[in-house]
Amino acid sequence: MFRDDLLRDQTILITGGGSGLGRAMAERCAGLEAAVAVVGRRPGPLEETADALRDGGGRAAWASCDVRDPQQLAAATERLEEELGPFTALVNNAAGNFLAPSEDLSANAFDTVVKIVLYGTFHATQLLGRRWIERRSGGVVLSILTPYAWMGSPFVLPSACAKAGVLALTRSLAIEWATYGIRLNAIAPGPFPTDGAFSRLMPPGMAEAAKRANPLGRFGEPAELADLAAFLLSPMAAYVNGECVTIDGGQWLKQGQEFGGFTDLPRDQVKATMAAMRPGKRG
């Protein structure tokens, strides 16, 4: 269990914080006494999130902006810092994604996802990084990836390319900016049932099979990811830098493991098969 005031001295900017995993992280951080600012494009979910955080006793603010546009981001974060005080941490969570055969992608489709995920992360990270360097305050950056950042994945090519870029950004700046007291880490979630992700990436009727394919037989709970994020943002993780922590129930490991598929069969059947193959036991 965390101390209730684990994030008391933090002011955290969460991109895409009005929905899904971003909102779950916003709620957890505010519950641990951080001041939380959420940005995204749609005012509705942002306002609702900030109101909910304030109703729960937290300090919160929101601003509408598109992370693809560094000017919009700069203006929004200046206003938010006036309201909440200087940011101490950034969560790069905003993303765009959809399933599509790569040969059918338009140039603008590729551009759109890469600009939200990779360029948006670069703009937000450089913007706050420059302020932290100038203020000599240090800072923390946490970016939300997914295991296909290093594995690659068919049918989500723009996202896979962009997330791989964010992993490279995380590892590069973790070293380059350590001297300024800025640490950068990432989280790689497996499937978490949010409206944003599942409406675009989980074809109807496939959820149960997807759950069964996971070694733990279930999807992640947003609160589980939010706890991991709170730890990585907190002083408890002061010596964790340049790391990407996977939270997927072991799914990506299983996909790559030679005999991982055996675990999908009834265990009695697997044991009987293996016993029958032992030397001296073959019929």
**How far apart, in whole angstroms, are the C-alpha atoms of residue 130 and residue 135?**
9
100 near ligand HXC, judged by CB under 6 A = yes
Give the one residue of 70, 138, 165, 196 binding ligand NAP; rule: CB under 6 A: 196
Taking the C-alpha atoms of residue 255 and residue 191, their distance in angstroms, rounded to an integer, is: 14
Should residue 185 be labelled a site residue for ligand NAP when binding is judged by CB under 6 A? no
- Sign of the CA dihedral with 192 first, then 122, 58, and 75 last: negative
| CA-closest candidate to residue 146, choices 130, 161, 126, 125 | 161
The span of 94-102, 124-132, 178-186, 226-234 binding ligand HXC (CB under 6 A) equals 94-102
Q: Which of residues 74-133 bind ligand NAP (CB under 6 A)?
A: 93-97, 116
Please tell me the distance from the alpha carbon of residue 40 to that of residue 18, in angstroms, as a whole number: 7
Asked if residue 18 binds ligand NAP (CB under 6 A), the reply is yes
Of residues 89 and 95, the one with the C-beta less far from ligand HXC: 95
Question: Of the candidates 67, 84, 173, 210, which one interacts with ligand NAP according to CB under 6 A?
Answer: 67
* Largest interatomic CA distance in the chain: 78
Known active-site residue 148: yes
Amino acid type, 185: N
Residues 132-191 that bind ligand HXC (CB under 6 A): 146, 159, 191
Catalytic residue among 119, 148, 180, 239: 148
Q: Can you list the alpha helix ranges (DSSP code H) found in the chain?
A: 20-31, 43-55, 70-84, 107-114, 120-135, 148-151, 157-176, 195-201, 207-213, 222-233, 251-256, 267-277
In the list ligand NAP, ligand HXC, none, the entry touching 108 (Cβ below 5 to 8 angstroms by class) is ligand HXC
Helix axes 107-114 and 157-176, enclosed angle (nearest 10): 30
Please, what is the end-to-end C-alpha distance for the chain in angstroms? 55
**95 near ligand HXC, judged by CB under 6 A:** yes
What is the DSSP-derived secondary structure letter of residue 77? Answer: H
CA angle 100, 254, 103 (to 5 degrees): 15
Residues in the chain: 283
Q: Which stretch binds ligand NAP (CB under 6 A): 15-23, 102-110, 208-216, 262-270?
A: 15-23
By CB under 6 A, name the one of 112, 126, 137, 214 that touches ligand HXC: 112
Nearer to ligand NAP by Cβ, of 205 and 266: the residue is: 205
Is residue 249 close enough to count as binding ligand NAP by CB under 6 A? no
Q: Which residues are catalytic?
A: 148
Residues making contact with ligand NAP (CB under 6 A): 15-16, 18-22, 40-42, 45, 66-68, 93-97, 116, 144, 146, 189, 191-192, 194, 196-197
Residues making contact with ligand HXC (CB under 6 A): 95-98, 100, 106, 108-109, 112-113, 146, 159, 191, 196-197, 200-201
